[in-house]
Structure 1
Amino acid sequence: MKFIHAGDLHLGNAFLDLSQLPEWVLENVQSATMRALESLIDTAIHAQVDMILFPGDIYDTHVLNPHIQWLFQHQMERLLAAHIPVVLGFGNHDYTDTVNEQLHLPKNVTVLANQVQTVRLVTQNGENVAISGFSYPQRHLQTSLVADFPDRQAGEDFHIGMYHGAQDHGDYAQFTLSDLNHKHYQYWALGHIHVRQTLQAEPFIGYSGNLQGLNRTEIGPKGFYLVQSNQQGQLIPEFQACAPVIWTQVHVQLTDQMNWAEVIDQIRNQIQRHNKFQLVEIDVEQTPQKLVAGLQSAAFMNQLAERSQVTDNFWIHRVEVKMTVQGSQLMELGAENWQAQKQGLVTSAHLEDLGLKLVDDLELYDYFQKSKTHQDIEQAMDEVIQAIQRGQWHAD
């Protein structure tokens, strides 16, 4: 037997972490989730799989988008032509209590009900397969639904569970490995967690992760599992990358001898070219102090954007600055010298000069006039200075 396990497609996700993108980048990211699905369908047809399982969050929202639904329907029709059945459930993002009101999908697609439902299929090799799962009727499910799943029955060559939820806690149909194992299924196709994760190797219980990374925290290749049975009757998943857009982090070191043109060249040269389009976050480690303000400015991001070309297979969407200043790099601040300077800094008169006199809120004004407030500010300054002298202070 051979099938695909693909969770969390999130079709129509708008990549909200990104802004002010040029048209050529926008075209790449706006179509990413659908192109990932197209790649999955290509693999399914080429590999002649027996079925595809989608355990929840097909769409990014429960508010129906006719265009996105039409695109999904078209891909399902490709599978119909290839005689490949599909079983899908809705999750906490695309939940619905009106399963039957969805856009009409072709007859090869079974949409799971809001209660646990079992679908029975026969593979190309004549194996009898039972697939049990459910759709979310609402965003949160505070209780486990595992007890509603049937035990594996005699005459079933394989029984597969589809479950959209979180392990042990939370508002998303929580479950335990012990409860899942009591059903004696050969495979649990989990959805909801966007990280590829194996909770148990045999029988397999795990998440395939999402099909396409959706934000800067979802780094690296994304895709689905192509699952095949072996001679021992085990179902073995193999990861297949299909995301056309990959979020990456690149670590860069700069020196204070560099001018801004050299800084930009160094950053661009550190990005490894990839056959997939990359959304790159630059992490600048141990940043020279004189470069910090410039690297964090909108003007610098504009310069990076101006250097970008349509032929680039990447876009730098963020620069993260980490400044580590060693004690040897600081001017000498002896304890007595610092105490004298500190007392001159935190006074009512100095705070007035810094803008306190412009404050209209009398309670706030009185707060900054209190000696206790001055002591708290001095203590916070002491902690920062000590951290700098130990080389443990970072400006992010």
Structure 2
Amino acid sequence: MPFRLLKYALNREYKEPRFFRDCQTPKKSYDAIIIGGGGHGLAAAYYLAKDHGITNVAVLEKGYIGGGNTGRNTTIVRSNYLTPDGVNFYDASVKLFEGLSEELDINLFYSNRGHFTLAHTESAMRTMRWRAEVNKHVGVKSRVVGTDEISKACPQLDISCSGKAPIQGALYHEPGSIARHDAVAWGYARGADSQGIEIFQNTEVQSIDVRDGKVHGVQTNRGYIATGKVLSAVAGFTPRICKMVDLKTPIVIHPLQACVSEPMKPWLDTILVSGSLHVYVSQSSRGELVMGASLDPYEVHSTRSTFDFVEGLTSHIVDMFPFLSNVKVVRQWAGMADMTPDFAPIMGKTPIEGFYLDAGWGTWGFKATPISGKTMAATMANDKAHDLIHSFRLSRFEDYELTGEKGAASVGH
């Protein structure tokens, strides 16, 4: 350990402060309440204060900060989507991510890797060309590449996939990156707290007070809190919160599982996704392979993990990388993915005055964390949907104006 670092560690004058205050007793009223202390909720709180000067805000988290889907994803950041609306939205998030470590003064371990979406069939190649053209049209760096370029970027990959599903090409997305999910949540929490936002952990919302079509407050396990604005940013718990205000959405909840291997020396420099094999994989800064697959095919409001998932996933990983056959899986987990029919989120105002929704993220919520916080903060501050999220409004399902992103879902991610 360098002497100058040891000097600070042993000096009481440089005691490290708490990341954020340990708030225990909520005030009787707030200008706004955010339900959900994950990345999206904390980002919205941060930008409410930073961009709009609204600091009389409480974030209510029934568990602990980042303990939901924020801490259960596979940390991939990308913007190679299928619709212009989706590409523009996620590209804005990528741009925010690139400067977020400096803005929040925390190391997010943001690492640009490049993202390959592998195609094993001609129909898959047609989809890759389609996505590449949409991406180029709005200025996002994506292009179709052949097997030579894939092998050059990742020589360890068996292009034949053990002869079961030979790779024909891929969509290469240059901005594809990974970041440390916990650091994103904690960074936004500290940033919000430093501007006066109050964060309450172990604080469950039990009901929402709606009278004459308008929000008046929330009832929690710490008492009643008056407010005229409530944002729900609770991912897989969205149906339960929406039920409190008698709001119907087309969201269904499916488990999404992931796992990590034992640490290895760095060898996988890129992010690889295979829609045909139902696999996506990257290597973390600690050397673990972070792996995931498609959604579980049934609706279950649970974060349990299964042997069936890890058995199927690892068999396909070995098809791609035969030399990994003896590597151990050390941990697996699941999150609750809030899915919409068109694979795009639901964001913005709702028919209940003062109730705002940030939901329907399915399997791609982490990568949208910064821009979702920024646009929802603007929407709450102005009581008008931000231009970037107009296509994600709840009323699109009644208007039959869906935003079809299923072709860009990249398996379960």
Tell me if TM exceeds 0.5. no
Relative contact order (alpha carbons < 8 A, sep ≥ 6): 1 or 2 greater? 2
Name the TM tier (shorter chain): under 0.3
